[in-house]
Homo-oligomer: A and B are copies of this chain.
Amino acid sequence: MKLSGEDLLLGKILKGLPDSKDLVLGPGDDCAVVRIKSGLLLLKTDCLVENIHFLRKEDPKRAGWKALCRPLSDIAAMGGKPLHALITLFSPPELDPAYWEEFYKGIRKAARKFGVTIAGGEMSRQPCGLAVSVALTGSVSKRFAPRSGGSSGDVLFVTGELGGSLAGHHLDFVPRLKEGQWLTTSGFANAMMDLSDGLGSDLPRLARASGCGFDVHLDRIPLRRGSDVQAGLTDGEDYELLFAVSPNKSSQLVQKWKSAFPRVRLTDIGTLNGTGSAPQNWPGGWDHFTVVRTTRLGQRSREPAGKPRRQRGGQ
């Protein structure tokens, strides 16, 4: 009996996936069937589009790693533990199937590292270009930190460094799963999100969901080498955590963080306030449907060293 091209390729790339006790029915049927415990389930879908999130000439293994790690970063922002993934490949028919085999090596590497069960995969022809869509499930305790959990006065923290992701970080980043779990189970994070579009547009989302405005010390924003404040705010694809902590807990957090994650930078960048609006001249970050950013922190000029501007909300 002859296997069709799609069946053959899927069979090949889905072969050798790590076994999982809770996977009752894996790739190859109409649906995946998984065994699940009562409680809260996280659901997330995320996509990777050629020429937006990756280039075809880039290493497909790294692009595959990124495809799974992007939604894992969202699971991290909820303090969750990833469980299952379903992966849809949109492929031009002329593309060498070897591309997807390499791509899947990156997916498998991330799946192994972060304990994700690949429960299913699908493929569709798309004449115009490559795209990948990943759907994830995860488990989470009742103490998850939604974007809406912040209050006026909460201290804002970010992990790691921001800006300049396009130089490589966007293909190799490690989703902050451990940090996210620690921040929610310890009760430090009231509100949390991952930074994918850039602090400039992501922070307003968290503040708005929490019914707050915010103050940010621009000179405190932790920057990747070679990045300026504008880049740190608007480049996007940082995949770091942004979270809000009650003011009476913030110094305790800083202390405990050092021993829990000695190699991960943690920075207090400002506070949520009661104004319910963004600081004047706050730069919008990357937005897929806004080609020209309406507000800019100067024409992408370098922020003069030693002359930080403090942005105040509600003015």
The answer on a CB contact under 8 Å between A126 and B129 is yes
Kindly specify which of A104-112, A202-210, A218-226, A258-266 makes contact with the partner chain: A202-210
Interface of chain A residues 275 through 295 with chain B (CB within 8 A): 276-278, 284, 287-291, 294-295
The answer on a CB contact under 8 Å between A84 and B208 is no
The residue of chain B having its C-beta at the shortest distance from the C-beta of A135 within the complex is B135
The residue of chain B having its C-beta at the shortest distance from the C-beta of A126 within the complex is B49
How does the 8 Å CB contact mask read for A44-57 relative to B, with 1 for contact and 0 for none?
11110101110000
Partner pick for A6 among B137, B287, B295, CB 8 A cutoff: B287
Knowing A1-B208, A122-B47, A288-B124, the reply to whether A33 touches B24 (Cβ < 8 A) is: no
Task: Decide if A93 is an interface residue (CB 8 Å cutoff).
Answer: yes
Kindly specify which of A58-66, A138-146, A248-256 makes contact with the partner chain: A138-146
Which B residues touch A86, using CB under 8 A? 43-45, 135
Which B residues touch A276, using CB under 8 A? 1
Count the copies: 2
Instruction: List 10 A–B pairs whose Cβ atoms lie within 8 Å, in order of A's numbering.
Output: A1-B204, A1-B277, A2-B278, A5-B290, A33-B41, A34-B41, A36-B40, A45-B87, A51-B127, A126-B129
Task: Decide if A32 is an interface residue (CB 8 Å cutoff).
Answer: yes
The residue of chain B having its C-beta at the shortest distance from the C-beta of A45 within the complex is B86
The answer on a CB contact under 8 Å between A147 and B194 is no
Which B residues touch A205, using CB under 8 A? 7
Task: Decide if A78 is an interface residue (CB 8 Å cutoff).
Answer: yes
User: Measured between alpha carbons, how far is A9 from B113 in the docked complex, in Å?
Assistant: 36
The answer on a CB contact under 8 Å between B30 and A193 is yes
User: Measured between alpha carbons, how far is A4 from B292 in the docked complex, in Å?
Assistant: 11
User: Measured between alpha carbons, how far is A52 from B36 in the docked complex, in Å?
Assistant: 35
Expressed in whole angstroms, the minimum distance between the Cβ of A231 and any Cβ of chain B is 19
Interface size class of A (residues with CB under 8 A): 35 or more
Partner pick for A38 among B36, B43, B52, B124, CB 8 A cutoff: B36
User: Measured between alpha carbons, how far is A124 from B286 in the docked complex, in Å?
Assistant: 12
Expressed in whole angstroms, the minimum distance between the Cβ of A197 and any Cβ of chain B is 8
Expressed in whole angstroms, the minimum distance between the Cβ of A220 and any Cβ of chain B is 22
Expressed in whole angstroms, the minimum distance between the Cβ of A269 and any Cβ of chain B is 18
User: Measured between alpha carbons, how far is A294 from B6 in the docked complex, in Å?
Assistant: 14
The residue of chain B having its C-beta at the shortest distance from the C-beta of A4 within the complex is B287
The answer on a CB contact under 8 Å between A44 and B31 is yes
Task: Decide if A174 is an interface residue (CB 8 Å cutoff).
Answer: no
The answer on a CB contact under 8 Å between A37 and B34 is no
The answer on a CB contact under 8 Å between A122 and B46 is yes
Task: Decide if A25 is an interface residue (CB 8 Å cutoff).
Answer: yes
Which B residues touch A24, using CB under 8 A? 40
Partner pick for A30 among B44, B126, B213, B295, CB 8 A cutoff: B44
9 additional A-B pairs beyond A5-B289, A37-B38, beta carbons within 8 Å, are A1-B276, A5-B290, A30-B74, A31-B78, A36-B40, A38-B38, A45-B87, A52-B125, A125-B288
The answer on a CB contact under 8 Å between B35 and A40 is yes
Which B residues touch A137, using CB under 8 A? 41, 43, 137
The answer on a CB contact under 8 Å between A144 and B33 is yes
